[in-house]
Structure 1
Amino acid sequence: MLELLAARFRAVAWVMDRWQAMVNLVLFLVLGEFAIRIGYQEWQAGRFDIVQVLASGKNLIGLVVILARMPHREIEMGYLPQFVALFAFFSGESLIKAPGVATIPQLYPVGKALLCLGIVVVALALLSINTSFGILIARREVRTGGLFRFVRHPMYAGELLKRAGVLLMNACWQNVVAIVVSSVFYILRAVCEERFLERDDEYREYRQRVRYWFCPGLF
């Protein structure tokens, strides 16, 4: 009986030690399948252009980062901040990206350039944050190199640029609503993260060195 209980405790301990790695593997498989499926659909439709090339590269970086990321040190226990974080992360799926949907021809190339720039910024931010990447709000190793030398939330800045580009390429009222809501939630996520991380001495020191959130000299 005691041996059975000991075996069960060891099994529970094994799971508790590795649950974050298991979550990473599940996310890698789910998001990887989604990225491959979307990329294949764009290829089949003849729309695999520079945007899709950049997006594929960014997705590959993101998948590697998810698989390699380190366990968090402490996680935000509030339901509302985590809801904000998850909503912001998945809000891009609400955007209408079909070509020719209420598109203003004069704005299309500008929008495409902004979208490409946003994808590049997100990819560089992923490389900068590396194994400290997280979907939920949590305390991890503070990254201060790469794009984090200039702003504290470069990935969210890239996401905002992407949304502005999608709106100019596909100007319709559905995208206006979706992008406004999505952008607000990304800003709220940054606020929630700042409040949670302000208890961390290392992050407070970093915050004193890097003043701006999204854009150097502006915000």
Structure 2
Amino acid sequence: MREAEALRAAYDGVTAALTPLSPMELLAPTRCHGWTVADVVHHLTSDAQRALVALATPADGPATRTFVTYWRSTPDPAPDWASAERAAAASAWAGRRAASIAREPGLLVESWAETSAAAVQAAFAAPHAFVATQGHVLSTPDLLTTLATEAVIHHLDLLLGLPAAPDPAVATLDGLLALHGGVRPPDWGIEDYLLKGSGRLALSTPDRTALGTSAGLFPLLG
């Protein structure tokens, strides 16, 4: 299955990036505000654990979400920046506390490597057409695409200057833009697209000009 191959590539890329890091490097900051590399590793491991549960949780079709609409399940409310900032800080703090349970950062990498490998194996063996996760029903290929998307973006959070990301992450962003008649500016590279689409980089004035009315959709991944 193409989506399982994409998940394996995304997870293997994260593992390869983490394996040579020293314990002190695992405590370095990332693009996720308030999180160290170790904190992001813990978050990714939780996502791989969710994958294992979802792949073992068959559901009746049809799907209630696709790999595109999964990221925009409800309309965005009018922004309350103070409340949003408090919620983001609380989420970041909870992630840090959960990751700190490990005796040392390297154990988190070992847990990630084992769990992600199991999730990939389950992805290739997945027998169900539809699965349930986080209150939604997705087709199995769409679930795997969302997992690969998140892994690739967090890979960019961990380290800069990474190789080109797998296509599923870009396909998700393209799908979100297409829902509203938008297209990716042709001069954007894969890394810029992922960082801007996920809100890691702010749009510049030329970006907003190139996107036109689609600029209001960013960040694409909620």
- Common fold: TM-score over 0.5: no
Whose helix fraction is larger, Structure 1's or Structure 2's?
1
Mark the structure with the bigger radius of gyration: 1
